[in-house]
Structure 1
């Protein structure tokens, strides 16, 4: 009689399940990211980025435009290099192709995270929950499919945190660890102004904690690393300062305390609600950690020091951002993507502490539940991001109308785009008509020649407005403006789609 194979013990199964789960989750998230990159319609800010890195334009013309924007030029430089790489590979220059830079950033982030875990056993235990928490958060998928700098902010913050926390856990970190943190801080400081403040707040929180713990040498060393890392950002800010101040004299972000508070609350609530199973496990783990810390458990006390430093640093950063917002509005949810990795790290700390207290079968069950919740969150996030308004909403309707009646005339009605066209930097004045032309070419219809006022007598004449979500005129108001501009419109009806509309006019 053959012996019955014995199942591996739970202590062996747990790390195996985590490895398989991590690979599965990475594949699932990557597949969702690829789908979102391909299928999500473009929006105005992506056209702005694409215009500022467009092929065939000398760098001598693009570089000043990068400095005219309100953010450091790092992402524009990376996107410009990526566009050149795509061109060298024979790939066409499109917004969707440009978005694939974020897939490269994702691969690099996963690789660096694995490298950190390989050299840090403490983070290796934590990394499973950290990765699952990050993957389930809406900004991870919502920003990876955009030709903007927000996913880079998300990824760099996620990488800074374990390197920064290492300086709490270890007395006199090695030169290699300090160099790694310095390099990551240099990049993280130079992506987006709000991200810079969040990262600076986190660093300040750790420095304050080290000082209070009488580790003044470590606090001084971390201060030196942060100051050196901030030099490139300081240089670029000095080059942009005059333009930056002028650009924000009149700004489109809603001012006032309530606007800033709403943005912060929305981002924090979204991060905390991304994976409810992980939330429950983390909450229990944080409770266990607090109790253990009061009983002088050294590991629990270290974990509490990390939590206090990160949450205190985040609160300091948010307070600074609100103060700036009251003077010059700058807080909206997508600018706050650096907040989400901080929440993910704290949740991972709690979950990891509880897992070390549970028997192996319970850990396996909880890991599977957390993984399933993350998979469901990714699916929901994909559906949500694909249904966000874009220029494809109005564009595809126009393409269908033109196909059904080829003599249809299409006019971009930019009279309602005065705000984006007139907002500094002045590149906006060129990006708006570029966006209309790009979408028309992409979807296979032609725009009427500039200066023409003729209407089609066989088919409708379409007046197309996009990126006007803050305006809600009725058809008669739109017709009245067009008549005063010289268009002989007899009647028309208006279709509101997403952040734009189409006026279907007849002579």
Structure 2
């Protein structure tokens, strides 16, 4: 009976998480980096051209871009995001293979799904057309696979070995921060086997990283000059404070994902300590948790050190670590669940599941409410609907800093994104060289991705006048990370009725 409750919890939590991600994908507006992904993986871009001209010159390995290009038929950003659901399903299947081979991990897996369902990063990364959700899944499945290897001291069935190898390959070739975290997670487990001179175990751990690492190094040799050039002037802030805050934020969102599972993990650690004092047979569980924790600490130490040398760390890059920490909490909670009777286990899971779903609902709303290009676009669409003669201008100047950044695709993504969003909301954009002003309706000047709020009304008006627009006054509507500057109808300005507001 206890096993049925655990499996049922896994299934229900996975279904709830999938529904939430799907809803968020379809109801959340895109932001700049998603437009970048969509642009470099569009269907009319050949594979060879995309790999050589766009993916390899980028800051990260090209795996996620390849997956996005293979699913370019899914259409607009919102529907294209559903690629992440397929990644999640494959991860769940991989986890099921591992747990079927090591049944001892079933209670921990139930706790793990509760942690993932209630975690802000699951929905946030799952509803973006970026590689962060793939990193989350890779970090989670890697930590689970390493735990299975540690508990059994062997590679297991052919299916489990395949899951481990594929997971390592993905983890090493998705995102540079994910690569570093994955390597750090593997290192303590491999070292433990070498110290024990357990060569079978060491081969089971180390073969896949050697092969995956070879592929990563080969790609890295091509990409390294681009990485160095792309990050000479980078937007990530330097200093220890930035790294510390990023790690703290990612960890806190993970720890608060499900308070009941966290409390169960603390009790589970206490039980592990008691077990260790009573019998050496408990060493496997304790050492597995210790090795996983050591890998997380090692990974964070490496990342902080590298960040101090060259800024590279923000909280969303740490989703692989979020997955590994979730597995660690789940392993500790799993020890508690193994000690409870069927009724107590059922009660624990029956209370834990609604807690995760409540968190899931809140996190889904938070994800959908994130700033996007659609906030300003909706405002413009309403203005055009109210006065069909409204003219809308965009200007490369407003995004000059981003467009000047390597890779070269940044030069084209901004103008392309404005056209895509305008087309979606059904309003036309003026040609780039146009200086027309509407006579009987407002003229709107639209800018997005101004997250630093660099442009105030005086700066905007000065640039418009210097560019040849005969406007005397504007009203600026700041919406999210963008803004719309509104000039009164040209006839009203000509008669002096348009004041500066």
Cα offsets for 1:397-443 (capped at 9, x unmatched)? 01111111011111113322121111111110100111111110011
Counterpart in 2 of 1:501? 483
SS at match of 1:495: strand
Counterpart in 1 of 2:498? none
How far has the Cα of 1:223 moved from its partner? 2.8
Pick which of 332-341 and 55-64 moved more: 55-64
Counterpart in 1 of 2:140? 158
CA RMSD in angstroms, aligned pairs only = 1.6
Q: Does 1:432 align with 2:414?
A: yes
Change (3 A) 1:174 1:373: closer
Distance in 2 of aligned mates of 1:159 and 1:359: 28
Q: How many residues align?
A: 487
Counterpart in 1 of 2:31? 43
Distance in 1 of aligned mates of 2:30 and 2:467: 30
Distance in 1 of aligned mates of 2:297 and 2:335: 24
Counterpart in 2 of 1:4? none
SS at match of 1:48: helix
How far has the Cα of 1:284 moved from its partner? 1.0
Counterpart in 2 of 1:8? none
Counterpart in 1 of 2:127? 145
Counterpart in 2 of 1:486? 468
| Kept after mapping to 2: 8 A contact 1:209/1:305 | no
| Kept after mapping to 2: 8 A contact 1:126/1:349 | yes
Instruction: State which of 445, 451, 456 in structure 2 corresponds to 1:474.
Output: 456
| Kept after mapping to 2: 8 A contact 1:133/1:275 | yes
Q: Does 1:68 align with 2:64?
A: no
| Kept after mapping to 2: 8 A contact 1:178/1:225 | no
Pick which of 58-67 and 190-199 moved more: 58-67
SS at match of 1:338: helix
SS at match of 1:337: helix
Distance in 2 of aligned mates of 1:294 and 1:216: 29
Counterpart in 2 of 1:403? 385
Counterpart in 1 of 2:308? 326
Matches within 5 A, 1:192-341: 192-215=175-198, 218-219=201-202, 221-299=204-282, 301-341=283-323
SS at match of 2:452: coil
Distance in 1 of aligned mates of 2:201 and 2:46: 46
Counterpart in 2 of 1:32? 20
How far has the Cα of 1:375 moved from its partner? 0.7
| Kept after mapping to 1: 8 A contact 2:155/2:204 | no
Matches within 5 A, 1:63-142: 63-64=51-52, 65-84=54-73, 86=74, 93-142=75-124
| Kept after mapping to 2: 8 A contact 1:168/1:210 | no
Distance in 1 of aligned mates of 2:157 and 2:124: 36
How far has the Cα of 1:145 moved from its partner? 1.1
User: TM-score by structure 2 length?
Assistant: 0.94
User: TM-score by structure 1 length?
Assistant: 0.93
SS at match of 2:474: strand
Distance in 2 of aligned mates of 1:55 and 1:182: 30
Pick which of 60-69 and 165-174 moved more: 165-174
Unaligned segments of structure 1, at least 5 residues = 1-11, 87-92
